[in-house]
Amino acid sequence: MKYASAIAIAALCLAGTASAADLGRRMPVKAPQLVAPVNTFSGFYVGAHIGGAFGARDDDQVDGVIGGGQVGYNWQIQNWVLGLEGQFSGSGAKGDWSWPGIASASTDLNWLGSVTGKVGYAVGNNMMLYGKGGFAFADYDYSATIVGFSTSASKTRTGWTVGGGAEWMFAPAWSAMVEYQYYDFGSDSFDFAFPAAGVTVAQDIDSGIHAVKAGVNYHFGR
């Protein structure tokens, strides 16, 4: 009986030691996995926009509604987005000036466009902030009347543009954007001829445009 009791006590002690060892052993913890941002903005897109434009120079005081479309391609690398975009806007922006009884003049901005590079940063998986810059072009009509004699001139002008905005992906293939863009066309010389008076007047016109636009884009391959 004494031997049996001793064996039972030893067995209980060994079992308790093994349980204590098991309790002291920590369960393995799996390292967290880093998830790369989704390439939400990559690929081709096409869209439409509407907004307003107003002149940035004393001799180019136009204002009015603009609207048109854009097409482009984005490459997204982690959070960074690089892109190339072409944009074209028809314009109803115009301006008038008059000196009653002596002279009057008008400026019509017929259309404007741009080809720009874009650099953006994706915030989360559905928002991008971006800047853009590149080549700009616009078509203008100018007219004037001085003491009953009228003249006009037209020209497609070229220059540069910079701007920036934000784009929000609100559906798998659709995004909304809002942006500001500045167009600078520098100073060009125009010859305003008054045939009835036998006079030609050379005039330098310095032009720049501010534009604010809102629009939507459709992204292919979604």
Residue 4 or residue 159, greater confidence:
159
Contact 168, 127 (CB under 8 A): yes
pLDDT at 65 over 80: yes
Indicate the pLDDT class of residue 35, thresholds 50, 70 and 90. very low
Buried b (16+ CB within 10 A) or exposed e, 138-152: bebebbbbbeebebe
Q: Is 188 exposed, middle or buried (0-12, 13-18, 19+ CB in 10 A)?
A: middle
pLDDT at 26: 56
Residue-averaged pLDDT of the chain: 85
Average pLDDT rounded to a whole number, residues 160-182: 97
Tokens of 131: 């800047």
pLDDT at 53 over 70: yes
pLDDT at 139: 97
pLDDT at 29 over 80: no
- Degrees (nearest 5) of the Cα angle 79, 215, 127? 20
As its CATH architecture, domain 2-219 has: Beta Barrel (2.40)
Tokens of 39: 């390439």
Average pLDDT rounded to a whole number, residues 42-70: 94
pLDDT at 21: 47
pLDDT at 157: 96
pLDDT at 148: 81
- Alpha-helix runs per DSSP H in the chain: 2-24
Evaluate the CA torsion angle 79, 46, 167, 94 in order and state its sign. positive
Contact 220, 43 (CB under 8 A): yes
State pTM to two decimals: 0.80
